[in-house]
Amino acid sequence: MKIFLDTANRELIKRFVPTGLIDGITTNPSHLSKEGDNPKQVLQDICNMVKGPVSIEVVEKEPDAVLAQAREIAKFAKNVVVKIPFAEQYLPVIKTLVAEGVKINVTLIFTPLQALMVAKLGVEMISPFVGRWDDIGVDGVELLEEVITVKDLYDFSSQILAASIRTLIQWQKITQTGVDIATLPPAVFEQAMKHPLTLRGIEMFDADWKKVGKKGIFD
Ligand code: E4P
């Protein structure tokens, strides 16, 4: 499973990249709205901070404008993936972009049928939104499993990217699905690295080692 951070916060990205676990970043207009800096600068910095793919979402609405903006985003950096929401009017746009070699992440996926349609167009990534399904009382991990089944049954090349993960429990369940990528809020990633029993165990070992009365283990 590849791990992406779902954020546009440069401080958090800078903090977690040294773990060696961050394979990419997903941004969206909501994330960028929280950064209080020029979005172009924020995105430029992020693309320089990580080697892996950085998803940048289109903000235009009309299909022709989305096409033009997607082309512009695609040229922005070598590691950019253009994020486009699922909609009927964008399918021809996506088809054109894929033919041009542009890497697309189709976002706001809520059914296996939406996933099937964009997988047929050859997109790079497909993002089912687990947490937003859970928000309305539907099992988001089940949706994810159905999307993965579609990918496997028909041998599509698109990578499935589990999005809208809000809790550690959701991420743990997602690890059992075999999904290609999980994009995590930094808080969930951070929480996963801390376990009270691990911390307590370290304290106990430290306390016992003090009783030995030596600094180094081979002193
Ligand atoms: C994914 O690419 C989206 O940016 C993200 O996961 C949305 O998550 P949310 O439903 O918590 O806003």
Atom of ligand 1 nearest to the CA of 135: 10
Provide the pLDDT for residue 134: 94
Give the integer Cα–Cα distance in Å for 86 and 54.
Answer: 19
Tell me the best of 9, 25, 28, 135 to mutate to test the pocket of ligand 1, counting ligand atoms within 8 Å of each CB and taking the most.
28
Rounded to the nearest whole angstrom, what is the distance from the C-alpha of residue 63 to the centroid of ligand 1?
Answer: 23
Looking at ligand 1, which residue's alpha carbon is closest to its atom 7? Answer: 164
Are the C-beta atoms of residues 177 and 148 closer than 8 Å to each other?
Answer: yes
Rounded to the nearest whole angstrom, what is the distance from the C-alpha of residue 56 to the centroid of ligand 1?
Answer: 12
- Spell out a b/e string for 149-186, using b for 16 or more CB atoms within 10 Å of the CB, else e: ebbeeeebebbbbbbbbbeeebbebbeebebbbbbbbb
179: tokens are 């999904």
The yes or no reply on domain 2-194 and CATH 3.20.20.70 is yes
Give the integer Cα–Cα distance in Å for 190 and 76.
Answer: 30
Q: Is the dihedral of CA 132, 50, 157, 91 positive or negative?
A: positive
Looking at ligand 1, which residue's alpha carbon is closest to its atom 9? Answer: 164
Contact partners, residue 43, CB within 8 Å, separation at least 6: 8, 27, 32, 54, 56, 76, 77
User: Ligand 1 site: residues with CB under 6 angstroms?
Assistant: 6, 26, 28, 107, 127, 129, 131-132, 163-164, 166, 183
50: tokens are 């990580």
Domain boundaries along the sequence of the chain: 2-194
Which residues are known catalytic residues?
A: 83
Give the integer Cα–Cα distance in Å for 195 and 137.
Answer: 29
Task: Using CB atoms within 10 Å of the CB of residue 115, give its burial: 0 to 12 exposed, 13 to 18 middle, 19+ buried.
Answer: buried
Per-residue pLDDT of the chain (219 residues; tens, 9 = 90+): 999 999 999 999 999 999 999 999 999 999 999 999 999 999 999 999 999 999 999 999 999 999 999 999 999 999 999 999 999 999 999 999 999 999 999 999 999 999 999 999 999 999 999 999 999 999 999 999 999 999 999 999 999 999 999 999 999 999 999 999 999 999 999 999 999 999 999 999 999 999 999 889 998
Provide the pLDDT for residue 215: 87
